[in-house]
């Protein structure tokens, strides 16, 4: 399989104008394959040669302007088109295609709850070629129309409004079927074409004169019904807010949101048909922070209708023009338009941490890489990470602080007007911004978007004395890095009741030769980047660090607390704060924390990083005990039912860190927890997984739980539990399923991998650590990018924090044949492993 190079894409774009795709899919031909016929109308600007891409199970025929092409000419997923004359052409391709079980191309899923089958497309990057023939690059936009033959009881969705246009009666071994036709789209890129079919449960409404709809599989219908009002409220509120911000109206004929099974990403911005992972249809209780996350994803994908769909990148070096903008707009618009008014706190404690971590690894890259940094589609896939999303959104937040929101929005609207239904680059966008300001936006973009790494800002406070006594204090800020930052510094004093009160917000430009002189007593706490308007690691002066460790929960604003927690997190990762000190701070302050996003974010870092990686094995039990103490304090605080979301977070934390099975086993047997909540499926499977790790259940118990919950999530829970059982037989069976039988879907692979490695079972799985590397490389070569990425992310032996594992991984990286997505995952995981070793050594 060859990756499309940038040079090839540029040459083809110079040669061709692509006008129209008419794609006919027959989804009634069997469980493994489907029929795909594509008619492409295009024009050659000059005479020349090119190719069309396709990854068929069988290429049956192809004709160019009515003349047959040799199917045997298909080579490495490319069908040559030679001797093109100048002028219009028509290409017809008829092929049999294979359904996917890995979330790529046309994914097919049969719901174990009721036996119903669903298909949906994920065409990003080069996966459209798994569905139909295409000139597959983002700057060859065209109109798309689909005709889909599907089982008679299905409905079919596409980018444009679909209409059932015919029926086929059953005859012989042919099942009854319906034919659906989609309205033509405006011109869009190939990776944004979308289709989905199945017996969907659908909720429809109308807003702003357009049809809006929600779709999910039938077994999830009661859960979508329960949340439909909230989902649609967020959807329409964001839609209206975007129309207040943007002068270009929503450019498509409808807005469908389909919650689909076994989806690899969080969601995909297909115009008119956004697809979401259907875990966002909540089957069990969730916290309000998780509802906010779902709302943010809705807002993010809707922003893409403008950033990415209306105006599309010309090549994949500019994915930040899609993802960074959608990330920034999603958080900002959700804050402005919905009940979720504190979204930037969750961003600060969760998403920015993702960006900071990514930007400190060897795999870091600029927010906007240069053309030479993304030479082909395979390298482009590596950049969908915390840099393109979280760091890019942070850079935009800093840009707004520096430029002003009025000029920023004016530049955006100029960009839309100049490039709608076309393609644009970073240079185009910067030119649009520059038209509305005297500031040097080009210089800002060069230093913020073309460079890598995280700056670190450190305050220095000096007391000033005069002949009459204390004369105030001075502040300077050291910058380890290269970027300019416009920030505020918050100063806090201790009130008589022990609370920290904000005394002043100081506006700072960093770097600066100016020494800022401030009257009054030295603050008990000084927080750089108060308001979290830039992307930089922060340090605290000695006095502020002591105040923070002792009084963090008494800082009044949750976003400021998020900034301080982030600084402590970075200090742990950099070996400047002992992991035990972080846990002690969490134990002192989380029981009184009022912001749920902070509780969840801090507990997650403490559990997955501090306890499992940064703490020596002989001290891990004590770390888990501290986390258990925090969880029990939160449970006591919420016994009155005043905060069910916080109580749910506490229950989950206590399950996760339990080292003795008695309490959680009793919960499972009782079916509820004293004071609530009742155990829903998610909690039952979480408890069973932890009991499996501890050796307190056997396979028979897992089988019984699956019989009680045979849903798709039940199947995943059972796979996770079976892999977690602490027996040689269970581990051998799980390893076989993961790396050798190639039948697991993407989700069942991930669930099995999540269960396999457990720090408590290090001796039991020791022999598998060196086996991981060759087996993962071979698996990725056989099963492709999605499974290769999952193998690197979820199946990596992260618990084995030792030099032997690190060296085995580094030796593996010397193999030049490793699939790029797996290589990227291994580079990142090994860097995390090396950091954990340094933290333990420190």
| Active-site amino acid positions | 301
In this structure, what token pair is assigned to residue 200? Answer: 């969907």
Element (H, E) at 776: helix 768-783
Dmax (CA) of the chain: 105
Q: Are 434 and 441 in contact (CB under 8 A)?
A: yes
- Look at the block and give the residue holding tokens 């297909």: 270
How far apart CA 821 and CA 74 sit, in angstroms, is: 25
3-state SS of the chain: helix, strand, coil percent to 5? 45, 25, 30
- Find, among 571, 660, 584, the residue nearest to 627 by Cα: 584
Peptide bond into 790 cis (omega under 30): no
Looking up tokens 């068929």 gives 56
Q: How many CB atoms lie within 10 A of CB 532?
A: 23
In terms of DSSP bridges, do strands 177-182 and 210-216 run parallel, antiparallel, or are they unpaired?
A: unpaired
Nearest to 351 by CA among 305, 297, 405, 404: 297
Contact (Cβ atoms closer than 8 angstroms) between residue 565 and residue 529: no
Cβ contacts of 431 within 8 Å, gap of 6 or more: none
* Alpha helices, DSSP H, located in 44-98: none
Q: By C-alpha distance, which of 26, 34, 74, 81 is closest to 54?
A: 74
Nearest to 141 by CA among 189, 85, 211: 189
Question: Among residues 486, 523, 487, which one has the least CA distance to residue 504?
Answer: 523
Residues 6+ apart with CB under 8 A from 673: 651, 667, 679
Q: How far apart are CA 619 and CA 688, in angstroms?
A: 25
- The Cα–Cα gap between 598 and 589 comes to 11
Q: Which residues contact 252 (CB under 8 A, 6 or more apart)?
A: 159, 160, 185, 186, 271, 272, 305, 309
| Residue 746, SS3 per DSSP | helix
HSE of 604 in the Cβ direction (CA atoms, 13 Å)? 14
């Amino acid at each position: 399989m060859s990756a499309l190079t940038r040079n090839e894409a540029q040459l083809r774009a110079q040669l061709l104008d692509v006008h129209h795709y008419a794609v006919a899919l027959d989804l009634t031909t069997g469980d493994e394959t489907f029929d795909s016929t594509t008619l492409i109308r295009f024009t050659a600007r000059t005479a020349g040669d090119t190719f069309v891409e396709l990854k068929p199970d069988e290429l049956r025929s192809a004709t160019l302007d009515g003349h047959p092409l040799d199917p045997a000419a298909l080579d490495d997923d490319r069908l040559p088109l030679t001797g093109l004359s100048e002028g219009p052409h028509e290409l017809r391709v008829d092929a049999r295609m294979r359904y996917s079980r890995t979330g790529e191309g046309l994914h097919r899923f049969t719901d174990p709850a009721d036996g119903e089958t669903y298909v949906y497309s994920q065409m990003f990057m080069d996966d459209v070629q798994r569905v139909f023939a295409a000139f597959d690059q983002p700057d060859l936009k065209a109109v798309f129309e689909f005709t889909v033959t599907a089982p008679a009881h299905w409905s079919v969705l596409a980018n444009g409004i679909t209409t059932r246009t015919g029926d086929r009666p059953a005859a012989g071994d042919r099942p009854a079927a319906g034919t659906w036709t989609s309205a033509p789209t405006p011109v869009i890129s190939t990776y944004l074409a979308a289709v989905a079919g199945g017996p969907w449960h659908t909720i429809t409404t109308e807003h702003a004169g357009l049809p809006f709809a929600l779709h999910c599989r039938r077994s999830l219908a009661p859960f979508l019904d329960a949340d439909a009002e909230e989902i649609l409220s967020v959807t329409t509120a964001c839609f209206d807010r975007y129309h207040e911000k943007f002068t270009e109206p929503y450019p498509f004929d409808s807005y469908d949101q389909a919650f689909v099974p076994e989806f690899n990403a969080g969601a995909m911005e297909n115009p008119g048909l956004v697809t979401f992972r259907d875990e966002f249809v909540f089957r069990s209780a969730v916290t309000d922070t998780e509802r906010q996350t779902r709302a943010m994803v809705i807002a993010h994908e809707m922003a893409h209708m403008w950033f990415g769909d209306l105006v599309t990148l010309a090549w994949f070096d500019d994915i930040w023009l899609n993802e960074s903008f959608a990330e920034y707009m999603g958080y900002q618009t959700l804050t402005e338009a919905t009940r979720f008014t504190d979204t930037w706190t969750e961003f600060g404690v969760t998403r920015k941490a993702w960006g900071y971590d990514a930007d400190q690894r060897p795999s870091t890259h600029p927010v906007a890489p240069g053309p030479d940094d993304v030479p082909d589609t395979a390298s482009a896939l590596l950049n969908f990470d915390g840099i393109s999303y979280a760091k890019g959104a942070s850079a935009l937040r800093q840009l707004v602080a520096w430029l002003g929101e009025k000029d920023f929005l004016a530049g955006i609207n100029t960009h839309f007007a100049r490039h709608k239904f076309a393609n644009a680059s970073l240079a185009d966008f910067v030119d649009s911004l520059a038209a509305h300001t005297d500031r040097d936006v080009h210089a800002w973009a060069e230093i913020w978007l073309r460079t890598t790494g995280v700056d670190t800002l450190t305050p220095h406070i000096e007391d000033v004395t005069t002949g009459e006594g204390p004369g105030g204090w001075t502040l300077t800020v050291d910058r380890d890095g290269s970027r300019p930052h416009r920030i505020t510094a918050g100063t806090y004093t201790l009130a008589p009741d022990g609370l920290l009160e904000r005394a002043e917000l100081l506006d700072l430009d960093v770097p600066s030769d100016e020494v800022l002189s401030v009257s009054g007593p030295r603050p008990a706490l000084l927080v750089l980047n108060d308001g979290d308007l830039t992307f930089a690691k922060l340090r605290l002066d000695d006095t502020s660090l002591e105040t923070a460790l002792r009084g963090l929960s008494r800082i009044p604003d949750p976003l400021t607390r998020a900034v301080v927690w982030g600084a402590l997190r970075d200090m742990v990762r950099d070996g400047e704060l002992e992991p035990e000190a972080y846990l002690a701070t969490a134990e002192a302050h989380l029981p009184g924390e009022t912001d749920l996003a902070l509780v969840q974010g801090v507990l997650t870092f403490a559990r997955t990083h501090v306890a499992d990686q940064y703490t020596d094995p002989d001290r891990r039990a004590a770390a888990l005990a501290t986390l258990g103490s925090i969880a029990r304090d939160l449970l006591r605080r919420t016994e009155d039912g005043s905060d069910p979301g916080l109580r749910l977070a506490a229950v989950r934390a206590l399950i996760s860190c339990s080292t003795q099975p008695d309490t959680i086993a009793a919960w499972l047997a009782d079916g509820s927890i004293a004071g609530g909540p009742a155990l829903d499926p998610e909690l039952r499977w979480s408890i069973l997984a932890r009991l499996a790790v501890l050796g307190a259940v056997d396979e028979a118990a897992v089988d019984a739980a699956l019989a009680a919950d045979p849903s798709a999530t039940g199947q995943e829970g059972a796979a996770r539990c079976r892999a977690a059982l602490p027996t040689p037989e269970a581990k051998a069976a799980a390893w076989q399923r993961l790396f050798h039988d190639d039948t697991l879907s993407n989700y069942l692979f991930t669930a099995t991998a999540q269960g396999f490695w457990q720090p408590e079972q290090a001796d039991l799985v020791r022999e598998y650590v060196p086996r991981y590397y060759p087996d993962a490389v071979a698996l990725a070569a056989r099963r492709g990018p999605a499974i290769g990425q999952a193998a690197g992310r979820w199946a990596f032996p992260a618990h084995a924090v030792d030099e032997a594992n690190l060296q085995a991984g580094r030796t593996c990286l010397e193999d030049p044949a490793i699939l790029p997505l797996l290589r990227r995952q291994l580079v990142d995981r090994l860097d995390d492993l090396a950091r954990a070793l340094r933290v333990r050594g420190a």
